[in-house]
């Protein structure tokens, strides 16, 4: 597997989540590249096709049945140094490809005050999956992790998206 294959998996996950949102009546757009070179996975529009906010989608591997029961402090949602935090997503959705389970979180105004950072330094923790697939050591960059108590169910995420659309339309 190559880096391009990993990117393709992420794109497929974005399409799955996007289709689910469209089925529920949300007006979505194609993923956008920002001036900072980051991706806005799923832009959400009002009925006049004005962009309201965007959603970040995270692919999860393994067999996650209950996102509240994990062996680590929280769900990773983006490198701390990423320029995506200049215009952060309003909602983050994680999707487990093997089980079809989805869950999410609302991005706080200041993630550094509410979310954890893991690992605290680059070069300490190896990303086991990417290292195995790419056949070279890949380290995890310090990333924001959403604590379990801030995780929302799929239904709660959908409700939050509805509220944001109604508030901004």
- For the entire predicted model, the pTM comes to 0.94
What is the rounded distance in angstroms from the CA atom of residue 95 to the CA atom of residue 109?
Answer: 23
CA distances from 87 to 16, 107, 110, 133, 147 (A): 24, 11, 12, 31, 21
How confident is the model over 144-163, as pLDDT tens digits? 999 999 999 999 999 999 99
How confident is the model over 75-102, as pLDDT tens digits? 999 999 999 999 999 999 999 999 999 9
CB contact at 8 A, 152 and 160: yes
Q: How do 116-118 and 143-147 pair as beta strands?
A: antiparallel
């Amino acid at each position: 597997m190559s880096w391009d294959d990993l990117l393709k998996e992420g794109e497929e996950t974005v399409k799955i989540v996007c289709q689910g949102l469209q089925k529920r009546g949300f007006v979505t757009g194609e993923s956008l590249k920002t001036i900072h070179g980051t991706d806005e996975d799923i832009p959400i529009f009002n009925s006049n096709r004005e962009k309201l906010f965007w959603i970040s989608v995270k692919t999860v591997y393994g067999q996650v049945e209950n996102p509240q029961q994990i062996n680590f402090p929280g769900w990773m949602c983006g490198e701390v140094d990423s320029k995506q935090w200049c215009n952060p997503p309003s909602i983050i959705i994680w999707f487990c490809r093997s089980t079809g389970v989805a869950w999410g979180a609302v991005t706080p105004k200041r993630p550094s005050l509410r979310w954890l950072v893991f690992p605290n330094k680059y070069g300490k923790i190896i990303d086991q999956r990417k290292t195995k697939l790419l056949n070279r050591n890949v380290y995890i960059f310090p990333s924001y992790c959403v604590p379990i108590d801030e995780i929302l169910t799929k239904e709660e995420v959908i409700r939050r998206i509805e509220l944001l659309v109604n508030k901004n339309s």
